[in-house]
Structure 1
Amino acid sequence: MNAIKNMQLKYSNYKSLDAKDKRTFWKETAINNAMYVLLIIAIIYTFTQNHKFLSTNSIVNIISLSAANLPIACGIAGCIVLTGTDLSAGRVVGLTACISASLLQSLDYASKMFPNMKPLPIPLVILAVIAVGAIVGWVNGFFVAKFQLHPFIVTLATQLIVYGILLMYIMINGNNGQPLSGLDDSFKQFVNGSILKVGGVAIPNYVWMGLAVVVLMWFIWNKTTFGKNMFAVGSNPEAANVSGVNVMRTTILVHMLAGMMYGITGFIESARIGSNTAATGLNYECDAIAACVIGGVSFVGGTGKISGVVMGVFLLRIIFVALNFLSINMNMQYVIKGLIILVACAIDMRKYLVRK
């Protein structure tokens, strides 16, 4: 009922505008929704070139790839709400993926990193990678909050630190940087197994994990004091401080929560990829940031919804899958990704300036 009333109110407001204001309204609407318009055009064009693009198998693939990236996007979205970002996200995913793989290799695998050690219980490994992500997040949040350093600088530094730790980790016990594979069947089944099929196409378990993360993050953002404090700090940290919000504590917790999400992403990616190297997680933060901005999480701070993050992840993944169906050169795909981020940020800033 409220949605219907809001639509009626908006329609009434539109009817009250003069001809010039109506033209301005449609112009602003077109610009603000340019990414969605381009997406619809891309879907239609891709389908005309390759009808398999909208097949059941392709749709399930898009959903699966999106679900695998939801945790990192939900994590980095909190940093953006605080007017920051997190360049270390991809490397944390890589580190936690390699840790997960090394602790869950089959006992009989010839190149096992830790010989004679049985695969650890999966819940214990999940807690371990979440803890690793939380530690990196604490470091990021502490230096941002305590010393008022820009998140770009702090996370650039931790990105290099985490990458160095990752490179040293995969050298342990004479592994010499070899890919970490030979994962235990229980681990692969836990992440890649399926309990549901759609049109004969299996939906992997990590889709449900991604859904669980979305529900959890929605609850944290919308139903907790911490979530309200996060938006207050993102909107105006001085005003939030005067209102009794512990800005330093909130900033640290937001980054820790983000790190935990990166750890979950690394756990999923470890089994999804199956063969983990120092390159695992490379540039994941770029896709996550682009998805957040497309989904309406603004760099000006204090603005964003989990539903928007989910939509942004799906829209971005649809575009990437469409590029593959159109046989676009991989090098060119990097150019397109960069343009998407640039355009999305430009549209986001324009919205802010118009409101201001």
Structure 2
Amino acid sequence: MNNKVLYHIKDKAIWVVFVLLFIAFTIANPRFITPNNLITIARQVSMYGIASIGMTFVILLGGIDLATGSIITFVNILCAYFMVHNGLNMYVAILLSLVVATLIGTLNGFMVSTVGMPALIATFATQTIFAGLAYLLSGGSPINGFTEKFKMIGQGYVGPIPVPVIIMIICFAVGSFILNKTYFGRYFYAVGGNEEAAQLSGIRVGRVKYLVYSLSGLFAGLAGIVMLSRTNSGQPTAGIGYEFDVITCVVLGGVSVTGGFGKLSNVIAGVLIIGGLTNGMVLMNVSSYTQMVVKGLVLAFAVGFDCIQKRKHSN
């Protein structure tokens, strides 16, 4: 009984931290809790939230995807290039861009699963490659000139709710369905918990890795499309550093860095905390360098806490 109570306390602790953070920033600056600012936070976290779903799958597998930020950037530029320089219909441009994003994820899966490269090195390589390709494709300059219809994706509303937030909610619903209602989701946990045991039980580990990294690329690509529409400009630096924030959101949400444990529902809290933390520090005029220090400390704390919990469990 005590163990069950302890488990539920740990499970809900992230939401307690979320509430306390919002209370603290509201006391420090009452503008933080205004409807306009909350909508701003919701828009800002939508990109983190969408990309964090794919990252959750990867980390559940015991892997890492450092290419997330570069995929966001490359899709940002590629979709803009398709629409502005090639004159493609927005739906065709979006579809082709998402296919490319998925293929980049599949490339990561190939290097990790078939070639046997460590995920850290494989995804760092693709991070560098596609960051460079984004500059080459854009010539280092922004790409502008989109239709009003395309702008609706990142700037529109359905009633009082921003469209990016609706997209994020749908993505979380799809991600939760995959994890909780499909056998693929169970495979993610099994491979992350013990890859060798999963292999012996008949799970095709290689295929699971291909699927997970492909999904990570797809969700990162979708985040890139939303960002492009929201900023109304294809920028060759759009997604720089996003992989750090996305990883922090996922780990802060309780997904174990060693794989096999975590829930998407808590990742939502991690996303909101990082979004609220970033917005709150901006309102308080905290310098960007100090923000980097704070976010680094948050990531270190989250990973350290996970490692301590794992050590206690193993003992």
What TM-score do the two structures reach when normalised by structure 1? 0.83
Aligned to 2:158: 195
Q: How does 1:152-231 map to 2 (within 5 A)?
A: 152-171=120-139, 177-197=140-160, 203-231=161-189
Q: What does the per-residue CA deviation read over 1:155-195, in whole Å, with 9 as the maximum and x for residues that have no partner?
A: 11111111121121113xxxxx2211222211112431112
CA distance 1:37–1:328, change in 2 (3 Å): farther
Matched, 1:49 2:4: no
Structure 2: how far apart are the matches of 1:236 and 1:53?
44
Aligned to 2:112: 144
Check conservation: 2:255, 2:263, Cα contact below 8 A.
Answer: yes
Q: Aligned residues: percent identity?
A: 29
Q: What does the per-residue CA deviation read over 1:204-244, in whole Å, with 9 as the maximum and x for residues that have no partner?
A: 21111111111111111111111111111111111111111
Instruction: Tell me the number of residue pairs that the alignment of Structure 1 and Structure 2 aligns.
Output: 314
More helix by share: 2
Q: What does the per-residue CA deviation read over 1:316-355, in whole Å, with 9 as the maximum and x for residues that have no partner?
A: 1111111112111111111111111111110111111111
Q: How does 1:256-267 map to 2 (within 5 A)?
A: 256-267=214-225
Q: Which has the larger radius of gyration?
A: 1
Structure 2: how far apart are the matches of 1:84 and 1:73?
14
Unpaired runs of at least 5, structure 2: none
Amino acid at match of 2:150: F
Aligned to 2:90: 122
Matched, 1:328 2:286: yes
Aligned to 1:5: none
Aligned to 1:70: 49
Superposed displacement of residue 41, structure 1: 4.5
Superposed displacement of residue 81, structure 1: 0.8
Check conservation: 2:61, 2:192, Cα contact below 8 A.
Answer: yes
What TM-score do the two structures reach when normalised by structure 2? 0.93
Aligned to 1:308: 266
Please provide the CA RMSD for this pair: 2.2
CA distance 1:326–1:42, change in 2 (3 Å): farther
What SS does structure 1 have at the residue aligned with 2:105? helix
Structure 1: how far apart are the matches of 2:14 and 2:290?
19
Q: What does the per-residue CA deviation read over 1:20-45, in whole Å, with 9 as the maximum and x for residues that have no partner?
A: xxxxx79xx69x98866665544333
Aligned to 1:236: 194
Check conservation: 1:101, 1:271, Cα contact below 8 A.
Answer: no
Aligned to 1:340: 298
Q: What does the per-residue CA deviation read over 1:100-131, in whole Å, with 9 as the maximum and x for residues that have no partner?
A: 222233xxxxxxxx2xx53x333322221211
Q: What does the per-residue CA deviation read over 1:69-122, in whole Å, with 9 as the maximum and x for residues that have no partner?
A: 2111111111111111111110010000111222233xxxxxxxx2xx53x333
Amino acid at match of 1:180: I
